[in-house]
Structure 1
């Protein structure tokens, strides 16, 4: 594939999208399992852990615009330079994962310091690889349907990685998971190297890091993305606490909940992509947000023992997740192309895009966990008031934020597009 808008085949999809699998394999332990693991396995206090996660994620987030600039400069050389950069970042990512989940220290202070160091290392490698890969996909071009297919392959493979990451640590342990990550990263980088290559603009030297914010469509899209992202990041941080303490579900049910959630998203992605030619990217995304609101509203009514009802909630919420994964990135690729920044500024755009994603996760962990601690909640709590606070944080707050995101999406994207 040599042209920016050449046909994107199934073989191209596998070769480009496969790297999404190990990247997501890392993301699930980092953002969902890590807080629970450090709190329960090592007894690290939630409030202190929340502060470390906040600082580490903010450090990571503020590096992303700079990493985007680095990616643009590499693309301005040759795609081969980007691929070499990707191989190095992948090696650092595999090592960082092992450092994070196998700390050689004990004691709360030492563990918190080690977690901060290992998180910074892992986040840096993860972000560098992610931004380069996302920018590459945006440069492949095409119409709205093709852009959604490109993102869908990446995110669909990512969901396979999430499913693997939700099961492998439980079935084979963390050591096997770390080894599997190294193998998967090597295979995915090889596939990426043999896959479709983008065409950069002639003589491109990369855009200024401020370029994306000079584009009003980007500012509008980013506002919706941030608000919706915070709404999704809060329950992602709290889901295991909700399952273990509010539902009091058996430990054996946890992989079923996570697996059904991500499997549902994987199944839903091609359905949402198929709806894009008829309804458009923005309207399909709005439908997904409304479905997520309905799912979390239902979860707010659950209590101890309602495990099968929560399984149904996970399936509905997973279907909604499919839109969050496949459609915003395709909308962003369209914004880049419409602005005339294709082939020279994708790194700048995705640097800020990832900055927003990390900021969402940082705020979710750094604010939700300490606030829950202030409300009296601790892991294993059975106090009714503490569990009510957990329900408010896990279910009600995301509904409020997603309603606001849906309103913004309609007013800033759908209504404006119709008016124009």
Structure 2
């Protein structure tokens, strides 16, 4: 693909409008990280839900959530003036479900059932917001001849705000979880209230200050028409395998991070510092990845990010008790690589969607694969239980293998899938604009 010339784009949104668009990434990350990282340890270690039972609940809830994403994307493509009501409904359900997650009833079975119900509600509401949000960003310039000019800066604002939310979500909940067990529900209730307030503010900014919800030039057709168009998009189909493998490589260590820190490193009080360091490194690295993508293209930039992630994480499984400083180094390097994983795939996908096509359906498939990866990562818990691992007991080779070695293998497979592409089969676009 011919690089975009370094000239102003027609109708390019002002930076503050892109910032207003990106703000929603912060509360979405504030909710997503505790749900995907802390909730397993919370119900296992503090509520007594057996590890195998917990793993199957996480898997079932995530799998159910996965199946609804393409449908939600199709509905979003058919929205005209109802986007405000759609976002308001999703925001209200997400705020209530997130607060409910941390207030389970007494008893192992009752807590497990409650967890499943709250996860289904939280996942569904998060999808309502996230798919609409990604679709909004993909359409920012309305499909003009230079519509790609706003994609990378919009993604940078969105993922940058998301990384700030991840930093907040990694430090505060982890600090709460490492404190007095009896006070955790009350403190998480306060965190949930702060999250709800930020979510309301971000939604208002999106609806009132961001570039308007773009008008669709063509009304989305039925399912058959949408599927036919997606199935004929070969470059899109080629993106799915590497994206899914890469998502698996990220979600697996995210599910097991707190178990590894506590039982392998014996450094549970530092869990918040480790996670915070990881996401701060990602936030610092994101502008560098954005600048690199402008120079060499989005696809090569993603490949380099994958290579850095493998190089930084490969030795994590060799760490043991007391290896705090080496693990901080792993967190910094792996976190720096995360920015490429976050920002590049949505921009690549936006470049693969033809003018007038149903962007929501495409992003529904992409989020489906991400959530399927998260669902499969939940099966790591019953796998570890079958291998003899017990939470609270010093972790052995099984925990290190599943936490570190398997993700590196998955990342290598994702890189191999990307390298199979002919250069003309994927967009390699340089961007002049900046956030």
TM-score (norm 1): 0.92
CA drift at 1:270: 1.0
User: Does structure 1 residue 410 correspond to structure 2 residue 425?
Assistant: no
Deviations 1:296-348 (A, max 9, x none): 11212211100011001000000110001111000011111xx33x4x40110
Deviations 1:75-124 (A, max 9, x none): xx23xx21221012101110011111111x11111111111111111111
Aligned residue in 2 for 1:319: 336
| 1:289 lines up with 2:306 in the alignment | yes
Pair 1:112 & 2:112 matched: yes
Unaligned 5+ segments in structure 1 are: none
CA distance in 1, matches of 2:194, 2:207: 20
- The aligned runs of 1:7-406 (5 Å cut-off) are 7-74=12-79, 77-78=80-81, 81-103=82-104, 105-141=105-141, 142=146, 144=148, 146-169=150-173, 170=175, 173-194=187-208, 195-206=210-221, 208=223, 209-210=226-227, 211-249=229-267, 251-336=268-353, 339-340=354-355, 342=356, 344-365=357-378, 367-382=379-394, 386-406=395-415
Runs of 4+ off more than 6 Å: none
d(CA) in 1 for partners of 2:127, 2:257: 24
- Aligned Cα RMSD in Å? 1.9
Instruction: Kindly indicate whether the alpha-carbon contact (under 8 Å) linking 1:8 and 1:150 is maintained by their aligned counterparts in 2.
Output: no
Distance 1:301 1:8 in 2: 48
CA distance in 1 between partners of 2:37 and 2:294 (Å): 34
Q: CA deviation at 1:380?
A: 1.4
Gaps of 5+ in 2: 1-8, 177-185, 429-435
Once the 2 structures are TM-superposed, how far is the Cα of residue 175 of structure 1 from its aligned partner? 1.4
TM-score, scaled relative to structure 2: 0.89
Residues in 1 aligned to 2:129 and 2:272: alpha-carbon distance in whole angstroms: 28
> Is the alpha carbon distance of 1:417 and 1:214 closer, same or farther for their aligned partners in structure 2, counting shifts above 3 Å?
closer
CA deviation after TM superposition for structure 1 residue 5, in Å:
5.9
* Between structures 1 and 2, the one with greater helix share: 1
Give the distance between the partners of 2:264 and 2:396, measured in 1 at CA: 6
Paired position in structure 1 for 2:3: none
* Cα deviation, residue 10, structure 1: 2.0
Mean Cα deviation higher: 144-153 or 237-246:
144-153
